Each structure stands twice: as structure tokens, then as C-alpha cells.
Structure 1
Amino acid sequence: MAQQPKTSPKSQPRATSSRPAQSSPPKTVEVVDPRWLVRMLGVFIVLGLFCSYLALGLLFYMGSWQLVLHPTRLANGGTRLVSEKIHFGPNGAGEPQLAGEWIGVPGSSSRANFAALYLRGGDGQLDAADGTQIAMLRDLGLNVLAFDYRGYGNSAQRPHPSEDRMQADAVSAWEYLTSTRHIAPDHVILFGSGTGVSLAVKLLQNYGPGGGLIAYNADPTVRARVAHDPRSHLFPLSLVFHDNFSLEGLKHVTTPKLLYTVGQADGARKAVYQTAADPKLTVEVPTHDEAAEKAALTRFLDSNLPGASIPVLTPQVPSAK
């Protein structure tokens, strides 16, 4: 039987389909909902405003101390009195942080074992005006320790002053008096001026009772002044400001007190002085009057320093600058 010739696959005819070619389905393009974009944009704007608000609050918190405290570091500072320049209050490395003056009285004075710790307010460093008040205390027979807080005068430049740091500096001064100068705690008279009255009150609460408190133009309006500052209206004051310099302790301190006001006392100071615990002597003079001030100091010291009469002192010549 004759064999059929083989054909190669390539030569075989291809079958053609009669079905039409199927086209691929069209691609779907996803469109972002414009409302979602608007919402996301709003979220980012709110987050940006909130972060900006927090940043401004942090800046206000870091700088709010400057609304109350105004340190100066002038080269011509100091009391301008004859004094011993001292340094005390060492840090962790043993370096003294506080610079001050010891204005001493003769050892023969009947009040030579008493000392006044002078705590000025937060407006500037020790100056000649402080020297005038300190000279009165010296002329009445008291040794006086006066110093600048950290951030002021010749004391350590950093950190910047705050209520807590100034209070710590006042404690260092108390310890210098009682440990280095060997003044008995009940022979320490605290003289506070302005915001320094608050520091003196807290010292007496923690280390007292001391020998007496002289409050000179106490400042009970610190928080109120900050609250009225337009910048403080943007933030909760309790979160961004903590330097209150409270005088609440005057209600509880039973140390003899001289509460002195120069000029017209505002309602806040009058209220503080009225609620202060006894014994107290309240004096108000319309204008600065050295004679009236010295008379009030004399009466207060004579009444509260037992066995110590006013000595006769030779006036000291101010030191040349």
C-alpha cells in the first residue's frame, strides 16, 4: 500500500476562528473625593495652629519670669557703704554663686550679736538706694548681710532668676549667717522689700521664728499684674506662670513684724497687712521720709530685741568707687 506523504506542521493550514476577537475591559480611573481632600486640609491646618499655640505657650512659659523680675548687672552697683565683700552659696563644684556685702558694727555694740538679712525686691541689683536703708539698720546697731540673687549684680549670671531660685539663695544667706557668722537664728532680723518680703516670710516659716520681720512695701500684686498683661490672656495662667511670691504666710507667722508702707497703700497690701498675725506694728507714711522710717525702726527694734539698747556709733565714710 502506498504511504501518504507526511506534511510538516508548518505546512499545515491554520484553522481560523470565525469568532470576533475579544477586547480587554477598559481601565477604571479612581477619582479622590474632593470632600476628603478638604477634610484633610482642615485637619492639617488645625494641627498646625495647635502646634503653633503650644510653641507660643512654651515661649511664654520660658520667658514669663521677665514680667516680674528685672535683673541688672551694672558695674557701679553695690551699697556704696564701707563693707566686707563676701562670696558664699557654693554649687556642686564648690564654687560660690552669690556675691554680697557684710556691713558690720563694732563688737562693743550691744547688738553686735544681732544681724539683719536684707532681701531686696526683683527690680535690679543692690544699689545706693539700698545702701540708704541698710545704713539705718547699721546705725541702729545691727550687722547687715546684703547680697544679689543669681542673675543679678556680681552673683552667678546663670541660671536666670525665678521665685524658687531666689528662695534657695535666701536660704543660702540664712545658712551663711547662722553657720559662718555664728548668728543665732532668733537673733536674725529679716528685712524684705517688695517681692523680697515673700522670701522672708517663707524663710521664717521654714527656719524661724527668727528675731523679727520688717516688711517694706510688700508686693502682693505679682500674679494680678501678670494676669492683666495682654499676652497672658492667650494661655491658662496656672500652666505658664508659677512665680507667685505669695504673702499668705503672714497670716501664720507669729514673729514680731514691722509692716511699713511708703506712699498710698493699695487695697491688696492693706488687706495683707490687716490679716497678718500678731504681734505687728503697721506704719504708713505718705512720702519717703528717712526720719519717720528711722523712728519706726527704732521703736520696733527697741520693743523686740531684749536687752539691746541703741548704741552710739561713729558715722562711716562711704567707700570710694
Structure 2
Amino acid sequence: MLSKLSVILLSVSVTLYISLCLLLRWGQTKLIFFPDSHIESTPQDYGLNYQDVWLSLGKDRVHGWWIPAAQVSTPTLLYFHGNGSNNGDLTQIAAILHQLEVSILLIDYRGYGKSSPVFPNETRVYEDAEAAWQYLTQKRKIKPQQIFVYGHSLGGAIAIELASKHPDLAGLITEGTFTSIQNMVGLMPGIKIFPLSLLITQRFDSITKIKSLQTPILILHGAGDRTIPPLMAKELYAAAPEPKYIEIFARAGHNNLPELNEQKYLLVLQQFMESTNNK
């Protein structure tokens, strides 16, 4: 028979296990999203002309910045940031990308920046991305074939989702993104004792979605990325259909790839954009 101490220890262990399961199930959005409303800078700080954009989603609003190119007929880049950023962190990157002579739309998901203070989840960020797409194609009358969708980190998963819904877009670019939330969680020591497939509701299952994409894709990753392993970029590349391209940047980490490798970064992007002209 089990001793009284053993029964107590077993009860405590079971209670702790169930509590952790409930935390993973119901608290995972708090473990994925880290919204910040503080705007560090604006495009004007980097000499860029811009306009505030407000997108309505029911009673909520999504805020963005429209940074036009000098020429109206140039491509447009729709940029999705990661889980711990907002538009105010992207102004330097926007200035780098603007050298490609593209118009840029940056948006903050609900909960981030000036957007409505609603805590984000997978469904909401997909809705926000779709609203941005509709703004470009319906209000600004930009042809899908002129729009490149770019996503960094978690934004890469959002970009892949949007590309799966709009196969006629010009091209998809991901930077430092992952294969799925389940695979990311699976990297944590000891986590596999939990039934992750049952507990994870915020799936961001890019490795499955990327297999059926019908648009050119460029996958960028830093070789020194300690947040999302470069192996995931290679797995996404292996799963993606042609035409596809991958570039692993030596020394780059998770958040400094464009700044650390600006000339090569711009060259790779320019070559990719030019290659899609024959799509």
C-alpha cells in the first residue's frame, strides 16, 4: 500500500500537472503575445513621408502607416511585425526597405501601438492582416500582383496565412519565422510530458500551410538566431513548393538581420522581387 506521504506527493503532482495543463490551454495567448502601446519613433524620424491609416473591424480599429514610394507604379510591401514589436520599432527597417523604391504599409495588430486595446490571438491577427490586404486592394486599388507580403518572426506565420488566402499576390517573404507554435513549444525542456496537440489552440501551423502555397516565397533567417532555430527555416523551405528561395545570413540574430547585413539584404530582396516578374 502507498504510504500517506506517497499519496500526498502523488496528489500534489497530479494537481500541479493539471494546473500546468490548464495554464497552457487557457493562458497561452499571454505566453505568445507581448503587446506594447508605446511608439518609440515614426517614419518622419528617418526622413520618410507617411500617412496614418485606420482600418475598421467592427467596433475595433487597426492603426497603420502608409509610406508611399516616389513612383505610383512601384510594388507595395505589406509588413507584419513580431509578437513583441510595434510599428514604432520598425522605422529603421522601413527606411532600409524604402531604398528598394517600394511603397510600404506597416500595421499594428489590435493590442499593439495605437490600435484598439484588445488582447490579440491567432484569429484576431489574421483578421487584422486581411483588413490590411483589403485596404490595399480595395481602397488603394493596388493589384494583388504588385503586393509583396513580408512577415518577421510571428509576423511570418501571419504572412503565410494571408498568402494561403490570396495566391495571386506577387510574393511572400518571411524572416526569422517558425514552423508552428507546437514545434516551438516542443523545444522547451520537459514540455513533452504534456499533450501539446490537445492543449495548443494558437497553432500558427505554417509548416502545413506552406505546402499548398501558390506564390513565390523567399525565406530569410539569421544563422545566429537563438530565438527561432535556423533549422526551422530549412524545414519551411523543404516543405514549400517552387518557386522558392532561402538565404541564411551569417552572424545575424533574430532581430538584427536587415541592419547587420543591409547591402546583402537589399540585394537578395531586389533579386527576389525581380524574379517574380516572370510569375
TM-score, scaled to structure 2: 0.80
Match of 2:26 among 42, 62, 86: 62
1:78 to partner: Cα distance? 4.6
What letter corresponds to residue 146 of structure 1 in structure 2?
L
Give CA-to-partner distance per residue, 1:79-117, whole Å, 9 cap, x none: 5443111111331x4xx51011000112x4541xx3111
What is the distance in 1 between the residues matched to 2:274 and 2:50?
25
Return the structure number with greater helix share.
Answer: 2
Contact 2:180 2:205 (8 Å CA) reproduced = no
Q: For 1:260, what is the secondary structure of its paired residue?
A: strand
Residue aligning to 2:274: 302
Residue in 2 that maps onto 1:284: 248
In structure 1, the partner of 2:126 is: 167
Indicate whether 1:201 and 2:165 are aligned.
no
Q: Which residue of 1 aligns with 2:52?
A: 85
Q: Whose radius of gyration is greater, 1 or 2?
A: 1
Contact 1:251 1:277 in 2 (8 A): yes
Q: Quote the Cα distance in structure 1 between the aligned partners of 2:154 and 2:39.
A: 24
Distance 1:122 1:78, change over 3 A: farther
Structure 1: give runs of 5+ residues left out of the alignment.
1-41, 307-321
Contact 1:77 1:153 in 2 (8 A): no
| Contact 1:89/1:169 (8 A) holds in 2 | no
2:35 counterpart of 1:71: yes
**CA deviation map 1:34-65 (0-9, x unaligned):** xxxxxxxx9xx98x998887666444422112
Change beyond 3 A, Cα 1:140–1:73? same
Show the counterpart of 2:86: 125
| One-letter identity of the residue aligned with 1:141 | E
Maintained 8 Å contact 1:102/1:144: yes
Give the whole-Å Cα distance in 2 for the aligned partners of 1:304 and 1:217.
22
User: Is 1:156 aligned to 2:156, yes or no?
Assistant: no
1:263–1:131 CA distance, 2 compared to 1 (3 A): farther
CA distance 1:284–1:205, shift in 2 (3 Å): same
Change (3 A) 1:216 1:55: closer
Q: CA offset at residue 235 of structure 1?
A: 4.5
CA distance in 2, matches of 1:238, 1:255: 29
Aligned-residue CA RMSD (Å):
2.7
**Residue 219 (1) aligns with residue 178 (2):** yes
**Partners of 1:85 and 1:102 within 8 A in 2:** yes
> Are 1:256 and 1:278, in contact at CA under 8 Å, matched by a contact in 2?
yes
Structure 1 residues 60 and 78, CA gap change in structure 2 (3 angstroms): farther
Identity of aligned residues (%): 26
Q: Which is further off, 231-240 or 71-80?
A: 231-240
Q: Distance in 2 between matches of 1:221 and 1:52?
A: 26
Q: Distance in 1 between matches of 2:250 and 2:268?
A: 14
Deviation at 1:229, TM superposition (A): 4.4
Q: Residue type matched to 2:31 in 1?
A: L
TM-score (norm 1): 0.70
Alignment gaps of 5+ in structure 2 = 1-6, 252-259
Q: Are 1:272 and 2:228 counterparts?
A: no
Contact 1:211 1:255 in 2 (8 A): yes
Which amino acid is 1:156 matched to? Answer: S
- Listed one character per residue, the Cα deviations across residues 135-179 of structure 1 (whole Å, up to 9, x for unaligned) are 233221211110111111111111x11111111111111111111
When residues 237 and 184 of structure 1 are mapped into structure 2, their CA distance, relative to the original with a 3 A threshold, is same
Determine the structure 2 residue equivalent to 1:116. Answer: 77
Asked if structure 1 preserves the Cα contact closer than 8 Å seen for 2:223 and 2:230, the reply is no
1:186 aligned partner = 145
- Aligned AA for 2:213? V
